[in-house]
Amino acid sequence: MVRTTPGAGKMSIVTDTDLVVDTVYGPLRGTSTPSADLWLGVAYAARPTGPRRWRHAEPPRERGEVVDARNYAPVSPQPVMQVIDLGPDAFANEDCLYLNVGTPRGVAGTDAGLPVMVWVHGGAYLCGSGSQPLYDPGSLIQSSVTRGTPTIVVTFNYRMGAFGFMDLSRFSSGDHVFQANCGLSDVIAALTWVRDNIERFGGDPGNVTLFGESAGAGIVTTLLASPAAKGLFHKAIAQSSPATTVYDAERGERYANMLLAELPPEYVRAADLRRTPALDLVNASSRIFNLVPNRFPGTIAFAPVVDGDLVPLDPLEAIVTGESHRVPLLIGTNRHETSLFRWMSTPLLPVKNQGVDAMFTLIGTERPGLRVPEPEFLDSSYQHVPAGARSMAISRDIGFRMPAVWITESHAQVAPVYLYRFDWATPILRLLGYGAAHATEVPYVWGNPASSKRDPMYALGGRATGEKVRHRMQYRWLGFAADGDPNTGEDGDAIWEAYEPMRHSSLLIGGTEDTPVEGLDDTILRAWGDEVLSFR
């Protein structure tokens, strides 16, 4: 029977076949596309509803019958965000802990032992899903086959906003126990499912790369220092990680109180919280998502917290002191990260002088023992940046670039690290002043930069160059996932060497070519120093 794959954004003609894989939790029936075999909407944890709301993920129940895995599952409840396309058929439900497996054609049930890439989507810990059209795995899998390193790709949903990243643990009372970092526990549960089942799909459970972008990359860098994640992934890729956005229990409680203040009064007691309608929690999440960064510039409402369990220490401090998992790391940022936040007119990250000044004042007030660079000194260190863009550059560096550099400097002492900066922007993005904005590299990694020839991304040209960027980035990411070497293996492409602290080596990812550079971050290193600057 010929049918179309739902939720994929574009209509892919596929043919149903008897792709049944017997997992630890029971048999799954998948389907085929021209580029991959797929198993969609696979339960990797028990339903996080009722008494499991605000509890860590638990294993799914076993099923004796063959489960239909040919359709995407619900996404986590979340507000609508203009910049995030969930797909035409997406729908939300608290019962959202499902993953999707994509393999090269015909490898399931064999002993192929293929490398595995597990994707953690971004979305400010509030929005997004693993089934977004942007993350259709077809192009990445096809490129892996062409490259000669066929690879399995896994995407998944995890709990977002108040459901996954609000610490209500201090409100526990009697039989009503709430746990922190439920969203993180979901990621660990997904990785555990991969470890226990991926061999049945032709994958190697000993060669798993965890990769993500934005909040997803923040989860990657957090799990680098989580004992609970030890051995569940063997390489890591962090694209634009807000790595310093991990809070202590006090801030977690403060933001939880703000959430409770937005709920109807009949639901704020510990005994009643789990009865709160999901829509009320989504609406409250949306309100404090905007309220928190306005009241506390430089912070966001939802983030992992140091809980003494999944996150026993501040991850950056653990990485700096060598207490992270010693796995190879590919990490980087985009040249114009903060232009997206300016365009969105969101307080999520301060991009104007007043907001940046308020952020530094708040850090200095909350952490009086921390050396905060003087505004005058920072201003002098950014003289190479036009005055009108200086605050955006400072915000970019404290939010994204410096955390990446701090991690690189430390993690390179215990494992190979490859540092990059993504500089490519299509002509229309340059004309509009966005440049290489936050998340603009993601379509090239996934090979889905434009859904059609009418896509505005290429309205002023650049498609041919964009295709070259896609090819190189996919080959580099796939090479790193296969054997830890992010080089394309093709004549004429730049060699990307592991970071050496004495040389400060990076790779600039450009349009027609990539360029190895030494000392790229020397100026900002002198400005910011080597002491991690963050909220608590």
Catalytic residue among 94, 199, 213, 337: 337
Residue 160 has, within 13 A of its CA and on its CB side, a CA count of 31
Neighbours of 432 (CB within 10 A): 15
Distance CA 93, CA 257 (A): 24
Longest dimension (CA), the chain: 68
Residues 113-135: b if buried by 16+ CB within 10 A, e if exposed: ebbbbbbbbbbbbbbbbbbbbbb
Let me know if 411 is a catalytic residue.
no
Show the tokens assigned to 235.
Answer: 């390489």
- Give every CB contact of residue 380 below 8 A, 6+ residues apart in sequence: none
Q: What is the dihedral of CA 236, 238, 244, 245, to 10 degrees?
A: -110
Catalytic residue among 56, 234, 336, 438: 438
* Local structure of 521: helix, strand or coil: coil
Catalytic residue among 131, 214, 226, 240: 214
- Give every CB contact of residue 419 below 8 A, 6+ residues apart in sequence: 331, 332, 404, 405, 408, 499, 505, 506, 507
Instruction: Tell me which H or E stretch contains 233.
Output: none
Between β-strands 2-4 and 13-23, what pairing exists: parallel, antiparallel or unpaired? antiparallel
Distance CA 115, CA 338 (A): 34
Q: How far apart are the first and last CA of the chain?
A: 56
Let me know if 337 is a catalytic residue.
yes
Cβ atoms 510, 441 nearer than 8 A: no
φ, ψ of residue 50 in degrees (nearest 5): 60, -125
Distance CA 85, CA 81 (A): 8
Distance CA 93, CA 80 (A): 14
Let me know if 438 is a catalytic residue.
yes
- Give every CB contact of residue 383 below 8 A, 6+ residues apart in sequence: none
Known catalytic residues are 214, 337, 438
